[in-house]
Amino acid sequence: MKSKRAAKGKSRVNAKTKTKSKTKTKSKSKTKSKTKSKSKSKSKVKLKPKSRTKTKTKAGVKNSKTIKAKKKASVKGATKKPSDGVRKSKPLPVKPPSLEGKGIRELAAAISSYIKALGFDPVLTGQGCAAVYGASGIHLRGLEFVISEYISKKIEAAMKELGFKHLVHRTYGSEKLGIEVSFLPPPVCVGDEMVGDIPVIKTSSGDLSLLSPTDCVRHRLAYYYRFGNKDGLDEALIVARKNKVDLDLIERWSHWEWASDKFQDFHDLLRGFM
């Protein structure tokens, strides 16, 4: 009986030891697997920020390189400019003509041809136009050109080449020639009426676009009608006396300008000239 009990006790002890060893091995395997999974997860977590920091540092290096390149380019561009900070003006593509010893017609044509060669479209009006048609009968004080576009730097450079100094606004003067040249804005008008047909005359100094004799008379009469300028009346009479003009058109236009009475004065004086 005792031997049986002892055998049973041993078997129980063996079973307990087996279960303990199994639980120990299971717990060990579990802890090992847990530690492995933790170490793997930790390694994964640690790897991600490393890759991010690398990409960030690469991007930062690229940005710093581009900034440095831009700074170098700006420094190079700055060194290309002249030391005094003033840009040198390009020479004009057309050689300026000589204006010395020219009559009124040739003088106006030379200036007009030179300005036209630079890309402008000057039309001679005003007293200068009357002087071309009236010759020595009119004392010329200046030339007036109407141009569709006025580029101040280009015009100023051109007039400087011709020996003119900038006086005020669009007016230039030459002490040597004793005249002024003005550039007026468009359109070409006589009083309130726009002029459509612009004749061109040929001279030894080039072509000259200007008002017709009839439009020139109307232009000078407009100064007399509106401002009471007697010089305008005298210049209109000289042009009408030396050139063929349309008096009927001038009379109708004078009526539209509310100056029929002043036209009658002009007409009576013109008959006296004739």
Lowest mean pLDDT among 3-7, 95-99, 194-198: 3-7
Average pLDDT, the chain: 80
Q: Identify the pLDDT of residue 178.
A: 93
Q: Which residues of 191-207 are buried (b: 16+ CB within 10 A; e: fewer)?
A: beeebeebeeeebebbe
Confidence at residue 93, expressed as pLDDT on a 0 to 100 scale:
73
84-101 average pLDDT score: 71
State the pLDDT at residue 139: 83
Q: What is the pLDDT of residue 89?
A: 55
Task: Spell out the domain ranges in the chain.
Answer: 104-273
Q: Looking at the whole model, is its pTM more than 0.85? A: no
In the numeric block, the tokens 């005003």 are attached to 126
* Average pLDDT rounded to a whole number, residues 233-245: 97
| Residue 90: HSE in the Cβ half-sphere, 13 Å Cα cutoff | 4
pLDDT band at 66 (very low <50, low <70, confident <90, very high): low
Nearest to 97 by CA among 79, 82, 109, 81: 109
Whether the per-residue pLDDT at 30 is higher than 70: the answer is no
Question: Which range, 1-10, 31-40, 223-232, has the best average confidence (pLDDT)?
Answer: 223-232
What DSSP element (H or E) covers 143?
strand 142-146
- 73 pLDDT band (50/70/90 cuts)? low
Under the banding of pLDDT at 50, 70 and 90, the label for residue 136 is confident
Cα–Cα distance, 119 to 150 (Å, whole number): 11
State pLDDT tens for residues 185-208.
Answer: 999 999 999 999 999 999 999 999
Task: Classify 104-273 by CATH class.
Answer: alpha beta
User: Is the separation of the CB atoms in 118 and 94 below 8 Å?
Assistant: yes
- The number of CA neighbours under 13 Å toward the Cβ of 68 is 6
